[in-house]
Amino acid sequence: MTGARSQDFARERRIVKTDEFSSVFRLRPVYRTAHFVLYTRVNQLTHARLGVVAAKRLAPRAVTRNTIKRTTRELFRIAELPPIDCIVRLSKPVNVRKGPATTASLKRELRSELLRLFASQRPEARS
């Protein structure tokens, strides 16, 4: 059953309350990529939790924001993270007026950045 539980994204694996977001945001960013900033805080649970912030001003199209959130959740589910609270925040605009909302190259670039973010938090990477 633990294998199946690690692949879900139940409410207990999400950061949903404003005060939970605030307590993680108060800490300094742990890791940055071209488009994202990762904030983390050790939690007292047995699993990691995730919050995603994709502001409308940085990704004006809903399809892009949803792609970012969906990809982040997917990669979070497969990452083997210690019990930490993670917030992934979009920090640079991803839509350009002349380009389509979600191109394959944009998805590939964002996916590789998110993989680097989560890899930086694995126990072997932190030692």
Q: What is the mean pLDDT of the chain?
A: 81
pLDDT at residue 100, as a whole number: 56
Q: For 33-82, what is each residue's pLDDT tens digit?
A: 888 999 988 888 888 899 999 999 998 888 888 989 998 999 988 888 88
Q: Residue 98 has what pLDDT?
A: 56
Asked if pLDDT for residue 22 goes beyond 70, the answer is: yes
Which of 93, 85, 125 has the alpha carbon at shortest distance from 110? Answer: 93
Class of domain 2-126: alpha beta
Higher pLDDT, 46 or 104: 46
pLDDT for 102 equals: 62
Tokens 């071209």 correspond to 34
Per-residue pLDDT at 88 = 92
pLDDT above 80 (res 2): no
Give backbone dihedrals phi and psi of 91, rounded to 5 degrees, phi first.
Answer: -120, -5
Residue 97's pLDDT is: 61
pLDDT at position 8:
63
State how far the Cα of 38 lies from the Cα of 114, in Å rounded to an integer.
9
Rounded CA separation 2/111 (Å): 26
